[in-house]
């Protein structure tokens, strides 16, 4: 599979470290799951590396539904990364 587009969103301290609230990017076709996307993103630069550093608890949602590293991605998905929630 060739590259495909994803709409990425970052919240709270992930947003601050990456320096953007979101972006639409083309990811390589061999990235099939959320876990693989995270590993790939963490190598895009120091901000990403800091946001996705090993040991950091990062949660995610795919198309506004909480997701796990095994969740399979599809072209055009909205993928959000964020810390554990702290509302209420």
Partner 1 sequence: MARVKVQEAPFDIAAETAALLAGRQDIGGLGCFLGVVRGTVGGRALRAMTLEHYPAMTEAAIAAIAAEAERRWDLLGCTVIHRTGRLAPGEPIVLVLAAASHRTAALAATSFLIDWLKTRAPFWKKESYADGGEAWVEAHAADDAAAARWEG
Residues that bind partner 1 (CB under 8 A): 9, 11-13, 15, 57, 61, 64, 66, 78, 80, 82-88
Collapsing DSSP to helix, strand or coil, 33 comes out as strand
Distance CA 80, CA 60 (A): 5
Shortest separation between residue 23's beta carbon and partner 1, angstroms: 15
Instruction: Rank residues 32 and 58 by Cβ distance to partner 1 and give the closer one.
Output: 58
Shortest separation between residue 27's beta carbon and partner 1, angstroms: 20
Distance CA 35, CA 47 (A): 18
Instruction: Rank residues 32 and 47 by Cβ distance to partner 1 and give the closer one.
Output: 47
Instruction: Rank residues 66 and 75 by Cβ distance to partner 1 and give the closer one.
Output: 66
Collapsing DSSP to helix, strand or coil, 6 comes out as strand
Give just the sign of the alpha carbon dihedral 37, 22, 58, 53: positive
Shortest separation between residue 85's beta carbon and partner 1, angstroms: 6
């Amino acid at each position: 599979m060739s590259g495909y587009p994803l709409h990425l969103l970052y919240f709270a301290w992930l947003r601050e470290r990456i320096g953007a609230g979101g972006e639409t990017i083309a990811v390589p076709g061999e990235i099939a799951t959320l876990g693989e996307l995270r590993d790939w993103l963490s190598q895009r630069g120091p901000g990403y590396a800091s946001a996705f550093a090993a040991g950091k608890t990062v949660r995610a949602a795919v198309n506004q539904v909480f997701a796990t590293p095994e969740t399979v991605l599809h072209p055009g998905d909205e993928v959000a990364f964020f810390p554990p929630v702290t509302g209420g």
